[in-house]
Amino acid sequence: MVGPFIFLDIMGPTKVDADHQLNVDAHPHIGLATMTYLHDGQLTHRDSTGAIQNIEPGAVNWMTAGSGVSHTERTSVEEGAESALFGVQMWVALPFDQEDGPASFQHCPAAEVPTTERNGVTVRVAAGAVFGEKSPVDVSSPLAFSDLTLTNGHVKIESSLPERAIVAMDGSISINGALLPAGSLAVLEPGTRPTVSGTGSALLFGGEPVGQRHIWWNFVHSDQEVIDASKQRWVDQQFPLVPNDHEPHVPMPR
């Protein structure tokens, strides 16, 4: 874990068309919040709270699972058309007092994400607070998620967060002069202020630890027994359902 962040999935870069689309059928989560952020393309999110939301580049989808939520994610490309898809989904472990709370969903449009320019770097603070900016997304604990777009630029990383990491998304990104290949993640030493430089894009994320967690499939929790009980709940289809999009659902791995 890096702060409360427990999982990072890089989607793409790839192309989708009418015959090759992303269709993530209904599946469950507990004990975490999912944060989806795109550099390119579009996804449609549906969940058991009733939320239906398209997400486009630069916007934020933040879904809090709490005691249980189901959701789907799909692309929608018409016959003869093609679209790019490139972005990330992060899983954020919830603090102890929120693990079993109610499910909820937030969307922050790209235009509302605080954006600054420094030394050839565009900084977008999509969640939490960093670089003197604060995102309007209501996060679960002290954290930050920032999108850095560099054009032969450089920026010093602040040291206020106790745990931080950088993932290079594309281009040529260096940390204190050491190349970080695209798709690679570097965990930063606590208290340091390294310089990120180059041309391309990178994500900075981190925060305050929330404590030890168990993770199994889509379930995150401090209590293994809760995860075990959630397995049976999904087998019995006792999670809340995604309205009008619950079937087919993803079977639990065995």
Strand partners, 50: none
pLDDT at residue 80 in the model? 82
Indicate left, alpha or beta for 18 from its phi (over 0: left) and psi (-120 to 50: alpha). alpha
Q: Which range among 10-19, 48-57, 73-82, 210-219 shows the weakest confidence by mean pLDDT?
A: 73-82
Mean pLDDT of the residues in the chain: 96
pLDDT band at residue 98 under the 50/70/90 scheme: very high
CA-based radius of gyration for the chain: 18
Encode pLDDT of 55-83 as tens digits: 999 999 999 999 999 999 999 888 888 99
Provide mean pLDDT across the span 14-39.
Answer: 95
Q: Is the pLDDT of residue 159 over 80?
A: no
Does the pLDDT at position 254 exceed 90?
A: no
Our CA angle for 158, 161, 167, nearest 5°, is: 75
Percent of the chain whose predicted confidence (pLDDT) is above 70: 100
| Whether pLDDT at 235 is above 90 | yes
Q: What is the dihedral of CA 135, 139, 144, 150, to 10 degrees?
A: -50
Q: What CA–CA distances, in Å, run from 125 to 4, 67, 96, 184? A: 17, 28, 25, 21
Mean pLDDT throughout 141-147? 98
